[in-house]
Amino acid sequence: MLELEDVRVRLGGSAILHGVSFTVAAAGVTALLGRNGVGKTTTAKSVLGLYPATGSIRLDGRELIGLPTHAVARLGIGYVPEDRGVFAGLTVAENLRLAEPREQPKAGYPRVYELFPVLEARAAQPAGTLSGGEQQMLAIGRILLRRNRLLVVDEPTKGLSPKVAAEVARALKEVAETVPVLLIEQNLSVVRTLAGQAVVLDTGRVAHRGATRDLLADPARTNALLGVSTARADPVRADTARADARGGTA
């Protein structure tokens, strides 16, 4: 599906990725994990052609490095950035309309509204007045209007209550039944629920690759790589774990 090989990125004169190599599975969710500032978002943006990279990034064998972002998107990679990228001054309906494919403008709506009924109920509301969770649903809904081969989703549950985070995770799980997802996520309870495979970055390098279950079953390894104990990775205490991951260990 998506293969990264020896991907290197320099930003502002500093080397940020030092030769990242991993594969995103052709089905389900692959989690991209790591402490703050290790290069997860940089990796995602490199895939999207938003940062200049060297090495190789291939989608079903097709080289993406060197392609402009619009060409990467046209090849079928949908991206939900960390800041969600919704247009605050436009209504929910207008945000969705801007994301429609020209060929089949209305085709994706039933699925989006089925996954996120709140978006239909709030169609006329400016996106900037939605809650954080609703904005996340809108951001995911926007990319579901297009037929994608891969979704890259950056920290979709960041800042959400455990209940809303679980709702977003449930929707992503359903989405991943038809489109593979590369998911950047710090909430280990979400990772545990969604991701079959996990890749862990540490200062611009891959520190671990393998089944999520195996990683999370090894508290010492999880703690060493992520700075959080898996004992905290249950839904009730997920927010605490995330706060710890952000604050204490970068």
Ligand X SMILES: Nc1ncnc2c1ncn2[C@@H]1O[C@H](COP(=O)(O)OP(=O)(O)OP(=O)(O)O)[C@@H](O)[C@H]1O
State the chain's maximal CA–CA distance in angstroms.
51
Per-residue 3-state assignment (H helix, E strand, C coil) for the chain: CEEEEEEEEEECCEEEEEEEEEEECCCCEEEEECCCCCCHHHHHHHHCCCCCEEEEEEECCEECCCCCHHHHHHCCEEEECCCCCCCCCCEHHHHHHHHCCCCCCCCCHHHHHHHCHHHHHCCCCEHHHCCHHHHHHHHHHHHHCCCCCEEEEECCCCCCCHHHHHHHHHHHHHHCCCCCEEEECCCHHHHHHHEEEEEEEECCEEEEEEEHHHHHCCHHHHHHHHCCCHHHCCHHHHHHHHHHHHHCCC
d(CA 64, CA 71): 9
CB-wise, 14 or 103, nearer to ligand X? 14
d(CA 217, CA 238): 16
CB-wise, 43 or 197, nearer to ligand X? 43
Tell me the closest approach of the beta carbon of residue 11 to ligand X, in angstroms.
Answer: 4
Tell me the closest approach of the beta carbon of residue 103 to ligand X, in angstroms.
Answer: 34
Tell me the closest approach of the beta carbon of residue 199 to ligand X, in angstroms.
Answer: 12
CB-wise, 37 or 117, nearer to ligand X? 37
- Binding footprint of ligand X on the chain (CB under 6 A): 11-12, 16, 34, 36-42
CB-wise, 16 or 165, nearer to ligand X? 16
CB-wise, 41 or 148, nearer to ligand X? 41
Tell me the closest approach of the beta carbon of residue 21 to ligand X, in angstroms.
Answer: 17
CB-wise, 15 or 217, nearer to ligand X? 15
Tell me the closest approach of the beta carbon of residue 22 to ligand X, in angstroms.
Answer: 14
Contact, 16 vs 204, CB < 8 A?
yes
Tell me the closest approach of the beta carbon of residue 178 to ligand X, in angstroms.
Answer: 26
CB-wise, 154 or 167, nearer to ligand X? 154
Tell me the closest approach of the beta carbon of residue 52 to ligand X, in angstroms.
Answer: 11
